[in-house]
Structure 1
Amino acid sequence: MSLVFEHSTLGQRVLFGSGEAASNLIAEVARIGARRVMVIAAEFEAQIAADVTHGIEVALNYDDVAPHVPIEKAEKARAAAAEHGIDLLVSIGGGSTTGLAKAVAMTSGIPIVAIPTTYAGSEATNVWGLTEAARKTTGVDDKVLPVTVIYDAALTTSLPIDLSVASGLNALAHCVDSMWAPRADPINQALAAEGIRALNAGLPMIKDDPDNLAGREQALYGAYLSAVAFASAGSGMHHKICHVLGGAYNLPHAQTHATVLPYVLAFNAPAAPEAAQRIAAAFGADDASVGLNLLRKTLDAPTALKNFGLAEEDIAEAVGLILPYIPTSNPRPVDRDNLTTLLQAAYSGASLEL
C-alpha cells in the first residue's frame, strides 16, 4: 500500500537548557526587538517570574490568571496590553498562563515568548481555549502560537509531585490522542511515540526524586513532542471529552486528562490495532493499556473524576454536551450508551466494561 498523507509543521523557535531561562529570555527580547514587555504569571509564581525576568525591562507584570481562560479575564488582559502599548507577551507558568497570553495574542497579534513551568504543552500549539457561561470553546489560529518557547527544567521543580504526575499524564494524553486524531499521520505518530517513551522514562524519575533534573528534562522534552504532534494531528476523542468537562464543571485540567486517558485508550485501542501497537512499543509493553496502567500505578496517578468535582448526576448532561464534538474519524463509533458507560467508569474509577 502506498503512503499518502498531508502534514503541516508549525514554525517555532525552541531554546532548551536547565538554568538558562533568564539568559535565553534576554537574548530573545533583544532578537525580537521588543520594547514594551508584558509578563503574565500567576500570583503564586511571582518569584519564579521575577527571577527569570530580572535581566529585561518589564512594562507590565500581570497576574490575573484563571483556569480555562474565562472570557472576562481575557478581555481584561487584552485591555491592559492595549493600555500599556505592549509589543511582546512573556508567559511564565502552566497552561492557564499560556492560554491567557494566547487570548491576548489572538485579538492583538502581539508575539508570545512562552516559558512553561509544567508539562501542559500549550506553548507548542496554535490552539486556543476560552470559557464563557460554563462552556469552553477551542479553536486554531496561528497568531496564538508562541514565536519562541524557552524550556528550563529547573523551573518545574516548584511543581508538587501530584501536579507533576497529572501534568505529565496530560502530556501523555496529547501523544495518545495524536495516534488517531482527525489529522493523524506517520509524522505525528512518530513524534507521539517518542513523546510517550520520554515521558514514560522521565515521570517515574521525578516521582522517585523530585529534584532529579534529568527526569524533568525528559518529561519536558516529551511534553514538547506531545504538543507538536497534537498541534498537527488535531483534537481527538480524549481532548473533546476533557475540554467539555473542564469548561462545564470547572474540573482541574491536568487531573481530568490524567483520569480520563486510560478509559479512552481502552475504548479505542481494539479498533485501532496499529496505533495501539505503536503505543505499546513506546511503553516497552506488549499491550498499550497494560503499559499505561503500569506507569499510572508507578506514579500513583489520579483514578476517579468524582475526586475532582464531577457529580454523578452531571454525567447524562455531560454526554449530551460531548457527543456533538466527537470526531467522525474516531476509530470506534461513539454513541450515548457507550460514552455514558465510559464516563461512569471514569467518574468512579472502575474498570471499563464495554
Structure 2
Amino acid sequence: MAARARLDGLDLARGLALVGMLAAHTLSAGELVWGDPSTWIGVVDGRSSILFATVAGVSLALMSGRESPPAGQDLVAARVRLLTRAVIVFAVGSLLNLAGAPVAVILEYYAVCMMLCIPLLRLDWQRLAIVAAVAAVAGPVLLRVLIVPVDAAPGIGTLTELLVQGYYPVVVWFAFFAAGLALGRAGADRRAVQRSALFGGTALAVVGYGLGAVLPESVASSTAGLGATGWDSVLSAAPHSGGVAEVLGSGGLALAVIGGCLLLPAAVQLVLAPLRAVGALALTVYSAHVVSLGILAAAGLPTRGAGVFWTTLVLALVGAWTWRVLLGRGPLERLVGSAARRAASPAAP
C-alpha cells in the first residue's frame, strides 16, 4: 500500500507539471505579480518544467535501487537502462522538433540531463544532495562563463547549444535532476522524507524568491538564460533565466509540490485519477500535445488561447485516464521501458 501511494503521488506531481506546461504553451501567461490575481496563471511559466525535471530525478532513483544505490552488475544494468532511455527520449525530442510546433521542446535537454546522471547512480542521498546544492549555485555561474564563447562561435554544435542555450540549459537544469535523485534515494515512500520535502522545499522557495524580491528590478527580472550575456542575471529569479534565485526558488517549490503530492491520502489520489493518468502517460501526452500544436500551426489555426488550452486539457485528461484504465502503460512508455529492459538483459547463451 505504501509503495502504491508513493507511485500515485509521483504520478500526480508529474501530471501537475505536464498540465502546467500545456498552460504555458497555450496561454499568454505574462509576468507573475503575486499581488495581482489576474496574473497568477504566470506561475506555470518555468516552474512547471522545473517540476517535471525534478520528478524525473526521483523516478531515476526508483528505477535504480530506490534507497540503496546499485553496485556491481546491478549498477551496470541500471546505467544501461538509463542510457537507453535517454537515447530514445532524445530521439523522440528530435522528431518532435520537426513538428513545427511553436514551443521549446524539452525532451532533448531532458535526455542529456539523464545521461549526466549516470555517474551519480552509485551515490547515496547525502552525496547527491551535495551535488545538487553545488550545481544550484555553480550552474548559473557556469552558464554565464560559457555563453559568451558559444554565442561568439555560432554553429559549433547541437551539444553546446543544449548545454548553455535555449530555455533549458543543461548546465543549470542538471541541478533539478540531481535534487530529485537525492529525494528518491532518501526514500520517497517514507512519510518523514515526504514531510521534509514539503517543508524543506517550501523554506528553500522562500529563500530563493525572497532573494529575487530584494534584488534590484534590473537584476531580478533579467533573462540571460535565453541568450543574453549580462552577469547581472546570475542572481535572477525570472522564469527561464537560469539565475540562482530561480534555481533555489523554483527548485524548492518543485520539492514542496512533490512532497505534498506524496502526502495526499489515498482517497484524494483516487479522485485525482485522471490527473495521475496524465502523469503516468507523460511522454505520450506531451508528444501528442506538441504534434497537435504543430498541426494547428501548419493549418494556420490558433495555437494559443483559452479555447485551445481547455480543449487540450480535456482531451489529455480523458484520453490518458481512458487509456490507463483499459490498456495500462502508454505506447511511448511501453517502448522506452521495453527497450531499456532488453538492453540491460544478459545475453542469451
TM-score (norm 1): 0.28
Bigger helix fraction? 2
Bigger strand fraction? 1
Q: Tell which has more relative contact order, 1 or 2 (C-alpha 8 A, sep 6+).
A: 2
TM-score (norm 2): 0.29
